Structure 1
Amino acid sequence: MPAERPTIVATSGGLVRRDRGGVDWAGTVHLAAGLARVPVGRAPRLTYLGTAAGDQRSWAAEVHAAGERAGFRTTVLDLFPMPSVEDPAGQLLASDVVWVGGGSVANLLAVWRVHGLGEAFRAAWEAGVVLGGVSAGSICWFEGGTTDSFGPVLRPVTDGLGLLPYGNGVHYDSEARRRPLVHELVASGVLGETHCSDDGVGLVYRGTELVEAVTEVPGKGAYVVRRGPEGVVETRVEPRDLRG
């Protein structure tokens, strides 16, 4: 069964480091699998895209291992040097969850457009496949956000897929320039209303509505930044703790 409504889980999290090496999927990814309403007895089908980091094979191995430990049926969809499946759009539609890794959101968007994946992601989203990701894999679903894709000095990116009609600010508490740049971009109108996440926080959307924030890490927050008549206003959204 697909999600009840088009669903996106946009995060600054999703992975946790293991004590003896490697990574595990963290709470936001398990939440995405739950929102996909996978039938009892069937493993969630998760498709991972590492386009933003250049489809690193060593990282793909980590993703497969994390998926095995989580009980997911994992497919890594590479686009370098060519698509790793015959029908990328069909692979997205056949998934329960599509998760996009971090890296360069500018390069990710360019490569996806060459392969016509913008339309494919929209079709999957509208069909009830849960879309999600971290960092670049969060910003991509929005109209734009802040990025280091162009160099060490953060700059705006404004040509996201636009499934969600907002800006997106990731790593809001861990990189000093992120918050002030979001405020500057909203003040100037480069970005409209912008939704931001501290590290470890996810933003959950049904359709285009932000329905909740969730966190894998205590004390973290989410934020909505808007331009008002007297300047930029930032409102904290208290996240639900996924640890119970």
Structure 2
Amino acid sequence: MATAPARRLILLGGGFSTEDDGLLDDWTLSHVGVSRPKVCFVPTASGDAPAYVERFLTAFGSRDCEPGVLPLFRRDLDDDALRTLLLSQHVVYVGGGNTANLLAVWRAHGVDRLLREAYDRGTLLCGISAGANCWAAGSHTDSFGPLTFLPDGLGLLPGSVCPHYDSEPGRRSSYQEAVASGSLADGWALEDGIGALFTDGVPTESVTRTPTARLHHVQADGRGGVVVRTLSCRPLGRGDAEVRGTAGEFTSPPPM
């Protein structure tokens, strides 16, 4: 009996759209395991912004891969061709933008179902910001203007996700409040600069392109606060030593 492939996804706190060193994108491609993998960029969350698409093609066109793009606002593929395209990819890379809009458009076109099928078949799914939020059951987002919780997502990753945990004012406190209150399930907070690989829903590797960036697991403590566990990350481009910093557990007071 054939063994089912591992289901893998990567949450990115950076990449071609925010940095020029390519460390996180090269690390992502290193997990594919084939020569010249097919990498499909899905820019739905940005409304298929042309400049975003061009930046992806420039960045990945110089790598040993076959880059492509799936536009949905000017879709030219029928349902069969859309399924064939997505299921033939080794990597699906989802860009940032508006998480709520992304989910609505995907569902209108059936992309949510196709990505779940691709995930179950072993396609590596990844993304930054909204492209990280979308894989979880819920997320922390500014899709509606002010920072808030969105108890909606594809649910491929249990729990919730919060991007930009360290770089956007209010992110940390607002996400902790959402988890503490039960508005969002326990989940993962990404600082800018990290990459986190999940295999069958479990974190199996975390890396960072900056010395201080971390990945955090935020869990309600049942008393109106949260417990935050900070995971060690391996620094990219700096050998194999782990960055440990403040790794461990600490308890925050109840959010104000």
Question: Normalized against structure 2, the TM-score is what?
Answer: 0.86
Runs of 4+ in 1 over 4 A off after TM superposition: 83-86
Assess, with a 3 A threshold, how the Cα gap between structure 1 residues 161 and 93 changes in structure 2: closer, same or farther: same
Q: Aligned partners of 1:53 and 1:148: how far apart in 2? A: 13
- Root-mean-square deviation (Å): 1.8
Q: Decide which of 84, 94, 103 is 1:100's aligned counterpart.
A: 94
- Cα deviations across residues 67-115 of structure 1 (Å, max 9, x unaligned)? 1112221111000122457622221111111100000011000000000
Q: Which moved more, 1:25-34 or 1:70-79?
A: 25-34
Q: Aligned partners of 2:208 and 2:150: how far apart in 1? A: 25
Q: Decide which of 147, 152, 167 is 1:154's aligned counterpart.
A: 147
Does 1 or 2 have the higher relative contact order (CA < 8 Å, sep 6+)? 1
Match of 2:53 in 1: 60
The Cα shift of 1:239 comes to: 1.0
| Structure 2 residue 126 is matched with structure 1 residue 125 | no
Match of 1:28 in 2: 24
- Between the aligned residues of both structures, percent identity stands at 36
Assess, with a 3 A threshold, how the Cα gap between structure 1 residues 176 and 58 changes in structure 2: closer, same or farther: closer
Q: Decide which of 231, 242, 249 is 1:237's aligned counterpart.
A: 231
Match of 1:15 in 2: 16
| Structure 2 residue 6 is matched with structure 1 residue 5 | yes
Kindly provide the amino acid, as one letter, of the partner of residue 5 in structure 1: A
The Cα shift of 1:29 comes to: 2.3
Task: Name the count of aligned residue pairs.
Answer: 233
Match of 1:88 in 2: 82
The Cα shift of 1:212 comes to: 2.2
Kindly provide the amino acid, as one letter, of the partner of residue 226 in structure 2: V
- Between structure 1 and structure 2, the one with the greater Rg is 2
- Cα deviations across residues 154-204 of structure 1 (Å, max 9, x unaligned)? 111111100011110100110121111111111111111110110011121
Kindly provide the amino acid, as one letter, of the partner of residue 127 in structure 1: R
| Structure 2 residue 157 is matched with structure 1 residue 179 | no
Q: How does 1:202-221 map to 2 (within 5 A)?
A: 202-221=195-214
Q: Decide which of 110, 122, 125 is 1:116's aligned counterpart.
A: 110
Structure 2 residues not aligned, in runs of 5+: 240-256
The Cα shift of 1:25 comes to: 7.3
The answer to whether the 8 A contact 2:180-2:222 is kept is: no
- Cα deviations across residues 108-153 of structure 1 (Å, max 9, x unaligned)? 00000000111111110111110000000000000111111111x1
Q: Decide which of 184, 193, 202 is 1:191's aligned counterpart.
A: 184
The answer to whether the 8 A contact 1:8-1:206 is kept is: yes
Q: Secondary structure in 1 aligned to 2:62?
A: helix
- Cα deviations across residues 43-79 of structure 1 (Å, max 9, x unaligned)? 1210000000000123212211111112221111000
Kindly provide the amino acid, as one letter, of the partner of residue 206 in structure 1: T
The Cα shift of 1:30 comes to: 2.1
The Cα shift of 1:31 comes to: 2.3
Q: Which moved more, 1:167-176 or 1:52-61?
A: 52-61
Structure 1 residues not aligned, in runs of 5+: 18-22
Question: Normalized against structure 1, the TM-score is what?
Answer: 0.90
